[in-house]
Amino acid sequence: MSLYKSMLLFGAPGSGKGTQGAILGRIPGFYHCSCGDVFRSIDLHSDLGKVFYEYSSRGELVPDEVTVQMWAKVIHAHSVLSQYKPHVDLLILDGIPRTLRQAELMDEHIEVLKIVHLECDNEEEMFDRLRKRALKANRHDDADERVIRNRWKVYEEETAPVLDHYPSEKIISVNSLGSPAEILHDILEVVTPIQQEHFAAFSG
Ligand code: ADP
């Protein structure tokens, strides 16, 4: 099986990965897949749904093997349904891989062409965004201050090291405190050439 050509949106909770991913996903030639959205779409009464609720409500990560297996099934289903066309679309991944082990497991499925690192040095600003999101999006994992702080800690301890798994020349840093339009502009500067280089043969 050939590897899915991918770009990773990388950053702390509240850095805007989901916002940018959703915008990019509207552009033909890009397919956005958010691991958090995939988990949230699962029936909470199913076995996997219960596992997800148990971990996410504490601000913890779902175990690696379960996560990657589930992700692989879902993306395969999307390609069977022709929502995601691997020969036409650059896959924009948001929220996976989130641990070094996940990065290793994902090497079986994806070829990472670029990583956009949405960086922010202002922790309080990020917390503020998460609190606002909790009010708007009815997210149980954003509502509690302790859970928010725990997710930040998990990010620093488990997710940030994922960057070491990839060659540094693939990683591009973008300031996540800009406006959505500014950030989108910076990301497009990076991903447009990649999309053209790898998928030009299939475009219009
Ligand atoms: P955020 O956008 O704040 O980073 P997500 O929507 O990506 O949050 O994820 C919400 C929750 O779903 C996480 O706190 C975690 O419990 C679970 N989750 C999402 N992606 C993964 C992953 N790659 N590995 C393990 N757990 C995950």
Report which DSSP code applies to 1.
-
The two beta strands, 110-119 and 4-11, are parallel
From the alpha carbon of 97, which atom of ligand 1 is closest? 23
pLDDT of 25 > 90? The answer is yes
Domains of the chain: 4-198 (3.40.50.300)
Please name the residue whose Cα sits nearest to atom 4 of ligand 1: 13
pLDDT-derived band at 138, boundaries 50, 70, 90: low
Q: Is the CB of 100 under 6 A from ligand 1?
A: no
- 114 CB under 6 A from ligand 1? no
pLDDT attached to residue 144: 74
Look at residue 113 in the predicted model and tell me its pLDDT: 97
Alpha-carbon distance of 186 to 174, in angstroms, equals 7
Token digits of residue 161: 């090291």
Rounded Cα distance, 149 and 127, in Å? 8
d(CA 11, CA 117): 6
DSSP state, residue 173: E
CB-based contact 90:6 (threshold 8 Å)? yes
Phi/psi for 131 (5° steps) reads: -65, -40
State whether the beta carbon of 62 lies less than 6 angstroms from ligand 1: yes
Q: Is the CB of 35 under 6 A from ligand 1?
A: yes
How large is the average pLDDT for residues 51-78? 93
Using one digit for the tens of pLDDT, what is the confidence trace for 89-109?
Answer: 999 999 999 999 999 999 999
Least confident of 16-25, 43-52, 194-203: 194-203
The predicted pLDDT at position 201 comes to 61
High-pLDDT (> 90) share of the chain, %: 71
Stretch 144-171: mean pLDDT: 91
Task: Give the Cβ contact number of residue 137 at 10 Å.
Answer: 10
- Predicted pLDDT of residue 183: 95
Ligand 1: residue of 98, 105, 148 to mutate (most ligand atoms within 8 A of CB) is: 98
Query: Does the Cβ of 21 fall within 6 Å of ligand 1?
Result: no
Q: What is the best residue among 10, 34, 62 to mutate for testing ligand 1's pocket, by most ligand atoms within 8 Å of CB?
A: 62
Alpha-carbon distance values, 104 to 27, 96, 101, 179 (Å): 29, 11, 5, 33
Q: Is 14 annotated as contributing to ligand binding?
A: yes
